[in-house]
Amino acid sequence: MSRKYVVGVDLGGTKIATGLGNMEGDLLAVRIIPTQASLGVDGVIERIHSTIYDVLEKAGADIDELYGIGICSPGPVNPKTGMIALAPNLGWENVPLVQLIAKEFPVPVFLENDANAAALGELWFGAGRGVENLLYITVSTGIGGGIVLGGKIYRGRNFMAGEIGHAIFDANSPVQCGCGQYGCIETLASGTAIARIARERIQSGEESMIRSMVDNLDEVDVRIIAQAEEKGDKLAKDVLDNAVRNLGLFIASLLNILDVDRVIIGGGVSKLGSRLFDGINDVIVKNMADIPAKNTPIVPSQTGDNVGILGAIGLVFESIGYSRVG
């Protein structure tokens, strides 16, 4: 039986999303179920297995027709040993995930962290098609990233390359990041940070219509700030201007280091659309002066809700050395 399919599993704290794709990257079947992390490692592994059987059955595919199974999970993971080192949202520590999946399915199984997988998803099926070197940035509750060089993820010595959210952007910042450092870009420009900054400024007495748009300031998020800006709110505009400027300068620094073909931005904050992308482009063009990398395209991610599944499938393509999507 010829091999013609790939399975991608997006393992998260709340849901398991599994898809079966062909070698052109078409998703032929998808199954999404709650993770139910409270069931523990064995219970969750069984649930992953069931989704794989489900997509195989839905698409009328046989295990013998699989090239492999890719899995992505929030980091840190060790792609070499197939271990999840730590997954707080699952309550897991040192779980040999690849081994546990391969026990049930006798095909090659690969593991990668979600941001690196998303970069591969964009490379193979999204906004990164046609280039070999790209930087993927996700701006959501945190800031993460993946670096693709020569068509492959650059993983680094400790598999931590691309963890751009913890690059220190403001050494004098009083804000401590979850990682322990002060002034990480994540504390200045992530969705969580943008909301926190707006909230703090309102709490310190600054005028803003945001106050009347929510019952409780805890509800403030980037979407609400953007709505307030559209209605002419000065504080909202200033908060977003600062975040866009910080992100633009940060990306300019990364372009100075990496000089990639394309920068792709995904995650919830990327839904700001042209407000974000035009703003970032302006900042980069203005600040990089005569550096040619200022013209690098900065584009939105294209893999949408299936980013994890497509990333995990791209991981299999990368791992088996598949060279071309049709």
Chain positions contacting Zn ion, by CB under 5 A? 166, 177, 179, 181, 184
Largest Cα–Cα distance in the chain?
A: 69
Tokens, residue 132: 């070999």
Instruction: Give dist(CA 236, CA 211) in Å, integer.
Output: 11
Give me the least distance between CB of 166 and Zn ion, in Å please: 4
What lies within 8 Å, CB to CB, of 231 at 6+ separation is 209
In terms of CB distance, is 210 or 247 closer to Zn ion? 247
Give me the least distance between CB of 323 and Zn ion, in Å please: 36
Give me the least distance between CB of 89 and Zn ion, in Å please: 18
Instruction: Give dist(CA 74, CA 129) in Å, integer.
Output: 24
Do 71 and 101 meet the contact criterion of CB atoms below 8 Å apart?
A: yes
In terms of CB distance, is 7 or 185 closer to Zn ion? 185
In terms of CB distance, is 21 or 144 closer to Zn ion? 144
Q: Dihedral of the CA atoms 44, 107, 17, 190 (nearest 10)?
A: 100
DSSP alpha helices (H): ranges in 59-190? Answer: 97-102, 114-125, 186-189
Q: Can you say whether the dihedral through the CA atoms of 247, 248, 253, 256 is positive or negative?
A: positive
In terms of CB distance, is 113 or 296 closer to Zn ion? 113
In terms of CB distance, is 74 or 126 closer to Zn ion? 74
In terms of CB distance, is 31 or 166 closer to Zn ion? 166
Chain-centroid distance of CA 119 in Å reads 7
Give me the least distance between CB of 158 and Zn ion, in Å please: 16
Give me the least distance between CB of 184 and Zn ion, in Å please: 3
In terms of CB distance, is 125 or 169 closer to Zn ion? 169
Helices 234-258 & 274-287, crossing angle to 10 degrees? 50
DSSP H or E stretch at residue 146: strand 143-149
Give me the least distance between CB of 58 and Zn ion, in Å please: 41
Tokens, residue 119: 């970069």
Give me the least distance between CB of 274 and Zn ion, in Å please: 29
Tokens, residue 146: 């993946």
